[in-house]
DNA sequence: GCCAACGTTGGC
DNA sequence: GCCAACGTTGGC
């Protein structure tokens, strides 16, 4: 039996973050290169976190809003969905006073860095490649911060990054 | 900085 | 339940 999950069982995601708020370097400097993915405040993204994202799933780290835009590396889900504690913290910018403490509205997962790409896959690179050009993140007006992606897209991203898909 | 695309809110 | 108004996201 292989130690790692069979590829067919692994799901692939793309998580977006504005690097000024949380970048791949923030993750790399975190203890055990692991951090909670907090601050998701969109119901569809929340539903993906709660119902879709599983322990061991593989994730592309996408930097949004501030150039250079693109996928800067990969990470793994090391803890499945649990309540996002920032929703109950009045000092957090993610504080949500309407979220019931006995039925938390917002969830998060923990992620661990797998690799930071030596060659980041910039948005323009994604646009040039047949497979990655069709990714959800490339769609105009796509705001979803937690997005599913396919195994083919995962593979293509690694080709563009000239990196091996480590797991 | 602009603005199109979205998502949410709230009056009705 | 509809939909206009508003606020936010995010590429350019």
Condensed to tens digits (0 to 9), the pLDDT of residues A121-142 reads 999 999 999 999 999 999 999 9
| Close Cβ partners of A43 (under 8 Å, ≥ 6 residues apart) | none
Question: Does the CB of A97 sit below 7 A from strand B?
Answer: no
Q: pTM for the complete prediction?
A: 0.92
Q: Which nucleotide is nearest to A69 (CA to C1')?
A: C11
Question: Does the CB of A141 sit below 7 A from strand B?
Answer: yes
Domains in chain A with CATH codes: 7-161 (3.10.590.10)
Strand partners, A1: none
CB atoms within 10 A of CB A8: 6
d(CA A107, CA A115): 25
Each residue's pLDDT tens digit, A137-165: 999 999 999 999 999 999 999 999 998 88
């Amino acid at each position: 039996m292989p130690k790692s999950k069979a590829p067919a069982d692994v799901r692939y995601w793309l998580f977006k973050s504005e690097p000024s708020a949380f970048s791949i370097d923030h993750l790399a400097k975190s203890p055990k290169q692991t951090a909670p993915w907090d601050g998701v405040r969109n119901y569809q993204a929340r539903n993906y976190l709660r119902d879709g994202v599983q322990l061991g799933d593989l994730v592309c780290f996408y930097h949004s809003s501030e150039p250079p835009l693109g996928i800067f590396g990969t990470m793994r889900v090391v803890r499945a969905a649990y309540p996002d504690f920032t929703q109950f913290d009045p000092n957090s910018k993610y504080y949500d006073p309407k979220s019931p403490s006995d039925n938390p509205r917002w969830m998060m997962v923990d992620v661990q860095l797998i690799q930071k790409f030596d060659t980041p896959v910039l948005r323009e690179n994604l646009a040039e490649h047949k497979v990655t050009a069709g990714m959800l993140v490339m769609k105009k007006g796509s705001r979803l911060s937690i997005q599913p992606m396919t195994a083919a897209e995962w593979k293509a991203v690694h080709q563009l990054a000239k990196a091996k898909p480590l797991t």
